[in-house]
Amino acid sequence: DKIILSGNRDTLSIPLVIYQRSNKNTCMHQKPQVQRGKCIKKGQILADGAATVGGELALGKNVLVAYMPWEGYNSEDAVLISERLVYEDI
């Protein structure tokens, strides 16, 4: 996929990364944020990636957590120490 910008006899093609494997075995994917045939303005976001939402950096929050395994000694059997993290969507 790509975003094609055209105007004043000039055309600019911007390729998007679609489900490409990174060197850390994660997936890189860019989603277009502009609609086909619509005019865009200077500074408008054209595409979002893995670390952006609506053009803003979305890396999450650093929280201090306690981890306590329960009977299985892995994350699937862990006990939640702070319900506030879940309720406040932190």
CA gap 88, 73 in Å, rounded: 27
Could you give the CA distance from residue 72 to residue 5 in angstroms, rounded to a whole number? 55
Write the pLDDT tens digit of every residue in 50-86.
888 888 888 777 777 666 666 666 666 666 667 777 7
d(CA 39, CA 33): 12
What pTM value is reported for the model? 0.57
Domain ranges for the chain: 2-87
φ/ψ (deg, to 5) at 4: -115, 120
State pLDDT tens for residues 7-50: 888 999 999 999 999 888 889 999 999 998 889 898 899 999 98
Please report, for the chain, how many H helices and E strands are present, in that order. Answer: 1, 10
Strand 47-48 to 31-32 pairing: antiparallel
Look up the CATH number of domain 2-87: 2.40.50
